[in-house]
């Protein structure tokens, strides 16, 4: 399976900073050992689309509503992302779930709508520290996958990003053993649901110095990278493992 290296820029980088980043990144990008995907903030999507024209670097939006247009103040349209040449929609990131109160039901609608437009949903799942300590990691991942994929079309692509909430932006990366165990579990759940073709990315404090150890683990098909993707050099170091 091809590897995917995805960058989640969250609420960082203006259009100008985005263009400057890509001027530098495009010179390095041919070294990447898999598909490279960027998720800039919505206001920098057009700068991303223009900067990446004529390259094989993919991009998408960090969140999009499950309708193409309408009275939905503050939301993003996946239809417009498609028109601009985007490929992916990031769905159910833990920050969307926690800060913006997104439910599994809403996430399921977004996954289905994204697929209906011919875009690829990248569905994020993962447990909190309390859930891990209570040994509920499997159950949490199972529920989030079962519900998040409940309206998804098995014949169309979906990418899964397993991101333990306690490892996101904390510098506390999951150990290779924890990653191996959970990715194997996530794969078995996907198999049961008929989505075993879906790549499973790991996310949570991935850095150039831990990426090589993590990519070797079973069922790790790439990474979703936050902080370390904001700098071209550190992201390409991760995308060349």
Q: Which residues are catalytic?
A: 93, 163
Residues of this chain that bind ligand PGA (CB under 6 A):
8, 163, 168-169, 203-206, 224-228
CB nearer to ligand PGA: give 189 or 206: 206
CB nearer to ligand PGA: give 52 or 206: 206
Task: Determine the Cα–Cα distance for residues 166 and 1; give it in Å rounded to an integer.
Answer: 28
DSSP secondary structure of 165-216: GGGTTSS-PPPHHHHHHHHHHHHHHHHHHT-TTS-EEEESS--HHHHHHHHT
CB nearer to ligand PGA: give 34 or 226: 226
Provide the minimum distance between the beta carbon of 132 and ligand PGA in the complex, in angstroms, as a whole number: 16
Kindly tell me the sign of the dihedral angle through the C-alpha atoms of 39, 40, 45, 51: negative
CB-based contact 202:211 (threshold 8 Å) = no
Provide the minimum distance between the beta carbon of 228 and ligand PGA in the complex, in angstroms, as a whole number: 6
Q: What share of the chain is helix, strand, coil (3-state, %, to 5)?
A: 45, 15, 40
Provide the minimum distance between the beta carbon of 205 and ligand PGA in the complex, in angstroms, as a whole number: 4
């Amino acid at each position: 399976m091809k590897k995917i290296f995805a960058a989640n820029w969250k609420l960082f980088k203006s259009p100008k900073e985005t263009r400057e980043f890509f001027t530098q990144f495009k010179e390095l990008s041919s070294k990447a050992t898999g598909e490279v995907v960027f998720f800039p903030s919505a206001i920098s999507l057009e700068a991303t689309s223009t900067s990446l024209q004529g390259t094989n670097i993919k991009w998408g939006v960090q969140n999009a509503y499950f309708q193409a247009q309408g009275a939905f103040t503050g939301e993003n349209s996946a239809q417009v992302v498609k028109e601009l040449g985007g490929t992916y929609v990031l769905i159910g990131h833990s920050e969307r779930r926690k800060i913006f109160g997104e439910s599994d039901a809403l996430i399921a609608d977004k996954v289905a709508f994204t697929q209906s437009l011919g875009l690829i949903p990248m569905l994020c799942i993962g447990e909190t520290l309390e859930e891990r300590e209570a040994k509920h990691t499997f159950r949490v991942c199972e529920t989030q996958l079962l519900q998040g994929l409940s309206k998804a079309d098995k014949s169309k692509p979906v990418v899964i990003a397993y991101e333990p909430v306690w490892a996101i932006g904390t510098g506390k990366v999951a150990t290779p053993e924890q990653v191996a165990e959970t990715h194997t579990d996530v794969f078995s759940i996907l198999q049961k649901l008929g989505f075993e073709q879906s790549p499973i990315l790991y996310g949570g404090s991935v850095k150039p110095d831990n990426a090589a150890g993590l990519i070797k683990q079973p069922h790790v098909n790439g990474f979703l990278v936050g902080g370390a993707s904001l700098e071209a050099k550190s992201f390409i170091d991760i995308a060349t493992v």
